[in-house]
Amino acid sequence: MTSVPPRSRRLSSIPLDNLWPHLPHAVLALTELEQDEMYPLLTATAIPRYLEEATAFGREAATNESDDGDLTRLFNRIIQSGVRVRLIEQNGAKGNGWIRAQYHRKPPTIDVYRSSMEQLEQFFAKCGYRVAEEDLIALHLYHEWFHHLESTRLGRTDYRLPKVRKKKWGPLVFRQRVYRLREIAAHAFTQEAMGLTWSPLWLDHLLLLTEKGWTKSQIREHFQFLHQKYQKITESDREART
């Protein structure tokens, strides 16, 4: 008996949100912000504002984008914006994490790791879908291209929001940018550009947790915990305002 491989599908047509426990965008954005060195110094009032503004910035930057699945066209646009793209065959693993793709500013280069694509392919296969490879490449490209656009046309996301007071040393006050805001915006940009109903950041969480061997109900529980944490912050923000 021969089995016919399933026809590949566009990423935007895969109802991932029906298959896995959901996590709203703001909660996902919070998990990203929490990894910033400045996060413990942000006030409860500042957190929702930082999350919303970074997300809105990424989304707005994608207003004129509408990915049609034509990877050659996307490649050409990226190249015309002054970036070279490399597909890296070696494993993107580094330390105890892995890299999907990277943007280097000098010279402007986007590296996409083949290993990341394979990992995504396997994840979707387990969900019962074969995804168009072009879409998996585009998913990486949009994210990294956004970082290039930030550096050239749009201005950096972290520059749009106030620096956070880091420490006071005598009369001097040190302030630092919240770098992770750039990631939140890049994910929002990618989601919008590719017309996805779910955030690429959510997909990252699912990949990480399923690779650890977590079950669906463990993931659901974990997501509920993250959701509650987010609600606590927004509640204390509301209390602070009243």
Residues that bind Zn ion (CB under 5 A): 183, 186
Q: Which residue has the tokens 């970036």?
A: 83
Is the Cβ of residue 179 or residue 214 nearer to Zn ion in the bound state?
Answer: 179
Is the Cβ of residue 23 or residue 186 nearer to Zn ion in the bound state?
Answer: 186
Report the nearest approach of Zn ion to the CB of residue 116 (Å). Answer: 13
d(CA 139, CA 159): 25
d(CA 220, CA 25): 16
Report the nearest approach of Zn ion to the CB of residue 87 (Å). Answer: 18
Is the Cβ of residue 29 or residue 186 nearer to Zn ion in the bound state?
Answer: 186
229: Cβ–Cβ under 8 A, 6 or more apart, which residues? 30
Is the Cβ of residue 67 or residue 183 nearer to Zn ion in the bound state?
Answer: 183
Measured in degrees and rounded to the nearest 5, phi and psi for residue 110 equal -115, 125
195: Cβ–Cβ under 8 A, 6 or more apart, which residues? 12, 66, 67
d(CA 172, CA 111): 40
Report the nearest approach of Zn ion to the CB of residue 183 (Å). Answer: 5
User: Nearest residue to Zn ion, using CB?
Assistant: 186
Report the nearest approach of Zn ion to the CB of residue 212 (Å). Answer: 22
Report the nearest approach of Zn ion to the CB of residue 158 (Å). Answer: 12
Would you say 120 and 136 are in contact if contact means Cβ atoms under 8 Å apart?
Answer: yes
Report the nearest approach of Zn ion to the CB of residue 139 (Å). Answer: 12
Per-residue exposure over 109-130, b if at least 16 CB sit within 10 Å of its own CB, e if not: ebbbbebbbebbbebbeeeebe
Is the Cβ of residue 27 or residue 141 nearer to Zn ion in the bound state?
Answer: 141
Report the nearest approach of Zn ion to the CB of residue 189 (Å). Answer: 10
Pairing outcome for strands 84-88 and 109-113: parallel
Is the Cβ of residue 13 or residue 35 nearer to Zn ion in the bound state?
Answer: 35
**Secondary structure (3-state) at 33:** helix
Would you say 194 and 15 are in contact if contact means Cβ atoms under 8 Å apart?
Answer: no
Is the Cβ of residue 47 or residue 186 nearer to Zn ion in the bound state?
Answer: 186
